[in-house]
């Protein structure tokens, strides 16, 4: 009986764990409890010994990648709180509102923040979106969905995102090829988000042009963001040049440039608009910051059992690949399902790319034609991305659900509608690319 329970297909285990997260979070109203419950289920169901159930979370939480990730989330919260305390948030909202309507501002603001490739970045833009709704006329659920959707319109191709940086070389494409291939997805995402989300938000009183002169210039207001992006690019490109010249041989942690950039942005903002120690004490030791970091830690522990850092046994994602091929499922559905389930189970673009692209690209073979390669990348990345976007362990969705105090199940159900349309457009793009290349 026990053997039969442990030998249930990995696909069933992962989907069951996701259902536990949704159900427990709805019943308990505590996402940390839900994620930890799903983690325990996965660990026991996968047959991990008691020692490993304790060792794997400790190894993941103490890993440099995880520690820097939690530090990044802290700094995102601190910088956004600093911007709010210094009045930048209000000025930024007023500057945008001076030129666009309320419902457009709710898309523009998270889209601007979306240029920052930071974990949990939707938490940065959430206060901005919330501030646009001065009279509280838009539901918290709709604000969350709009913020989450438009925060992620660039990650299909924007070259600062780790998922893009990993997917291009793994698919055998040059970065410019990958970017050109994926750029239409951003246009699709804007159109779909506008139809399903923005049109439900009243335009309000239209642009408040008379306020434009009372707010600092837009460039001045987004200077902290410019500093983050500038530091990130300078460090990444500088490291690449030094590494190519043989000056450095150590591996650069992908979170470190952002960490440095966020710290630099906080220093620049402090020089622009100084805050006293009393305000800083509130920012640095806020309960909200601690809760957010705890949630991120719980999600990381969950991910450790999906893809352990030390591969003693095949990861659940690898097991799923073997199961799907063993069941005789045709190639195209596998190219859809493996990345999609990987995205659902990891909640990270880097996660679904690392887990599924080796599988998908091996399925088409190293000698695949350019048409086959481009069409496969379109389908695999698009499906993986949509799985990640609606994943209950996606850090952005988790932390902003907490911020807006909204129901996770309703959030995912509402995002699934535009997500389904995006999947249809991605599938059409797959066949369009194949037709263009005569595959």
Report the run of H or E that residue 4 belongs to, with start and end: helix 2-6
Residues 6+ apart with CB under 8 A from 59: 304, 309, 310
CB atoms within 10 A of CB 333: 10
- In angstroms, rounded to a whole number, what is the distance separating the alpha carbons of residues 106 and 133? 9
Please tell me the predicted confidence (pLDDT) of residue 97.
73
Helix axes 277-284, 64-85, angle to 10 degrees: 140
Q: Indicate the burial class of 60 (C-beta count within 10 angstroms; 0-12, 13-18, 19 or more).
A: buried
Cα distances from 290 to residues 20, 165, 283, 296, 432, in angstroms, run 24, 30, 11, 10, 47
Q: Are 123 and 396 in contact (CB under 8 A)?
A: yes
Q: Could you give the 3-state DSSP secondary structure of residue 424?
A: helix
Please tell me the predicted confidence (pLDDT) of residue 210.
46
CA atoms lying within 13 Å on the CB side of residue 10: 21
Please tell me the predicted confidence (pLDDT) of residue 317.
62
For the chain, 439 residues long, the average pLDDT of each consecutive 10-residue run is: 68 77 72 80 80 83 81 80 82 77 84 74 81 81 92 86 77 85 96 92 59 67 85 86 83 80 92 92 83 77 69 60 75 87 80 75 80 94 94 85 85 92 97 91
- In angstroms, rounded to a whole number, what is the distance separating the alpha carbons of residues 363 and 322? 12
What are residue 310's phi and psi, to 5 degrees? -110, 115
Q: Could you give the 3-state DSSP secondary structure of residue 101?
A: coil
Please tell me the predicted confidence (pLDDT) of residue 338.
81
Q: Are 390 and 344 in contact (CB under 8 A)?
A: yes
- In angstroms, rounded to a whole number, what is the distance separating the alpha carbons of residues 238 and 407? 43
- In angstroms, rounded to a whole number, what is the distance separating the alpha carbons of residues 334 and 359? 10
Q: Are 253 and 68 in contact (CB under 8 A)?
A: yes
Report the run of H or E that residue 295 belongs to, with start and end: helix 287-306
Please tell me the predicted confidence (pLDDT) of residue 426.
97
- In angstroms, rounded to a whole number, what is the distance separating the alpha carbons of residues 110 and 146? 8
Q: Are 16 and 39 in contact (CB under 8 A)?
A: no
**CA nearest to 184, candidates 432, 417, 434, 439:** 432
What are residue 121's phi and psi, to 5 degrees? -60, -25
| Exposed e or buried b per residue across 156-170, where buried means at least 16 C-beta atoms within 10 angstroms of its C-beta | bbbebbbbbbbbbeb
Please tell me the predicted confidence (pLDDT) of residue 393.
81
Residue 255: DSSP 8-state: T
Residue written as tokens 């966020």? Answer: 262
């Amino acid at each position: 009986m026990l053997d039969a329970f442990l030998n249930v297909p990995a696909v069933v285990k992962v989907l069951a764990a996701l259902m536990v997260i949704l159900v427990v979070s709805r019943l308990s109203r505590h996402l940390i409890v839900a994620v930890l419950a799903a983690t325990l289920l996965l660990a026991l169901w996968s047959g991990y010994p008691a020692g490993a159930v304790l060792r794997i979370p400790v190894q993941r939480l103490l890993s440099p990648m995880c520690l820097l990730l939690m530090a990044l989330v802290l700094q995102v919260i601190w910088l956004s709180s600093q911007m709010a305390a210094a009045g930048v948030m209000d000025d930024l909202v007023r500057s945008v509102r001076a030129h666009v309507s309320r419902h457009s501002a709710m898309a523009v603001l998270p889209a601007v923040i979306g240029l920052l490739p930071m974990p949990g970045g939707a938490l940065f833009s959430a206060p901005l979106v919330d501030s646009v709704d001065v009279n509280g006329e838009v539901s918290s659920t709709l604000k969350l969905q709009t913020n989450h959707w438009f925060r992620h319109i660039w990650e299909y191709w924007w070259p600062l995102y780790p998922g893009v940086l990993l997917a291009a070389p793994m698919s055998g494409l040059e970065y410019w090829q990958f970017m050109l291939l994926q750029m239409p997805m951003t246009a699709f995402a804007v159109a779909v988000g506008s139809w399903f989300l923005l049109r439900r938000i009243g335009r309000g009183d239209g642009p408040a042009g008379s306020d434009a002169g009372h707010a600092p210039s837009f460039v001045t207001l987004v200077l902290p963001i410019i500093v983050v992006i500038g530091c990130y690019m300078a460090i990444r490109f500088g490291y690449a040049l030094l590494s190519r010249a043989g000056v450095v041989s150590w591996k650069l942690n992908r979170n470190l440039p952002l960490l440095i950039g966020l710290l630099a942005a906080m220093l620049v903002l402090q020089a622009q608009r100084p805050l006293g120690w009393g305000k800083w004490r509130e920012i640095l030791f806020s309960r909200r910051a601690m809760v957010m970091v705890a949630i991120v830690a719980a999600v990381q522990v969950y991910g450790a059992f999906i893809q352990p850092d030390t591969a003693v046994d095949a990861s659940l994602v690898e097991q799923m690949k073997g199961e799907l091929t063993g069941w005789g499922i045709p190639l195209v559905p596998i190219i859809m399902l493996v990345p999609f389930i990987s995205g659902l189970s990891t909640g990270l673009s880097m996660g679904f790319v690392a887990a599924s692209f080796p599988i998908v690209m091996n399925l088409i073979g190293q000698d695949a034609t350019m048409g086959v390669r481009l069409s496969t990348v379109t389908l695999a990345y698009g499906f993986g991305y949509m799985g990640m976007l609606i994943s209950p362990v996606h850090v952005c969705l988790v932390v902003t659900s907490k911020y807006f105090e909204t129901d996770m199940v309703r959030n995912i159900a509402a995002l699934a509608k535009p997500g389904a349309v995006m999947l249809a457009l991605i599938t059409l793009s797959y066949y369009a690319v194949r037709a263009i290349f005569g595959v």
